Structure 1
Amino acid sequence: MNETGEQPRQSPAPGWFICFEGGDGAGKTTQVRLLTEELERRGHSVLVTRQPGGTPLGQQIRDLVLHGDHVAPRAEALLYAADKAHHVDELIRPALDAGTVVLTDRYTDSSIAYQGVGRDLGTDEIRRLQHWAVGGLFPDLTIVLDVTPEVGRERRGDVHDRLEAEADDFHAAVRQAFLDLAARDPERYLVVDAGLPPAEIAARVIDRFDTIWAATPHGRQRPSGSERSGIPSSGERG
């Protein structure tokens, strides 16, 4: 068990589970797309999802917590947990069992950061709630795209959902929460400066994916040289 209280995934499911985290405006959507394109080019089956969302029920919850009227903080935390519980059972676990690479835009760390720290509900309380909701299923790799509140707000422009509209001190606390989570488990996290060019961020993500993949039975079974990245590795960049 690592310092975040998570048990490394020991599931016999052949799929891979990768999560993108970070503040609003960090560029997660772009990086999910770039990684999806690269993995599909290599012949992987990829499922892209997001939280909240990803299922019809999840989309309804998303509309409530991000675009509806005021939601009490504890109710907000419970709604996010409900989304993940349904999402894992209905979408993520079946995909992993089928050998699919699952890429998710946000997962449990977002709830710990936004509700546990940003809403000041307590990281331990929200962590326990989230861990129970997902039944102990955690990503093989979590990529944190690190963005300052100022840059995130500039990128988002004038359109904000309920959480994006919070003040910069809220987003600063959320940012620090992500960095703290990553620092406690550096083997499972990759922190990348979201201000870097998108192609460079994508290359760093692929480098880490390849490193972890090669150390697993999945990677050892891969034919040597058969899946070279279309994105230059760190050693190939000028």
Structure 2
Amino acid sequence: MDAERNTTAATSVGREVSLPAREASGDEGLTGDLAGLDNPGGLVVFVHGSGSSRHSPRNIAVAERLNEMGLATLLLDLLTPRERLQDERDGRLRFDIELLTTRVLGVLDWISERAELRERPLGLFGASTGAAAALGAAVRRPHEVRAVVSRGGRPDLTTERVAALRAPTLLIVGERDSEVLRLNENVARHLPSDHEVYRVPAATHLFEESGALRRVAEAAGAWFSRYLSPTATA
């Protein structure tokens, strides 16, 4: 059973939900924030990485814009509270792409069991190492994931063959984030589906420059609106 509670916070926070965590020790689960269920559009699941969480101000800002554009969002932590403490000490789990991919697959199963969510076209938004997990899940679930967006991601770390990816994929990278840009461009050469590398002008890895994060949100929203519409085909 998932525990849910209503909050009075901003639209992007919405309702807190608890999800089971695959391959977790003990009885700890995952926590997420579900928002925009009154919107008519698809559902975008945020896949965090590299020590981040659902409280990432950058991903919250993007989720708020997606909500404004008519999409529902689920921001969640892929590590349990105990695992997060361990990761803060050794930084190991944030790079365990297979574990993160398995957790995303568990989230997709959780979504499929809920009538309010399962009929919505589904997209994944991955950041940093979470982008690798998002791509891996999309390869393994080609009939469920309709689109993928990566923000400053490391799609090169995915454990799956990107040549098997069917979901249209947008890779958003800061123009001045040279090494990550090179890695994303290399991955893009092997993508068989619709794809684009979107370079945010003058931006670095964290998109802290004026207007950079807004460009990320607008590009992601346009991509998801295009491919998560009821009539879109991958």
**In proportion to residue count, which structure has more helix?**
1
Indicate the structure with greater strand content.
2
TM over 0.5: no
Structure label with greater radius of gyration: 1
TM-score normalised per structure 2: 0.44
Higher relative contact order (CA 8 A, sep 6+): 1
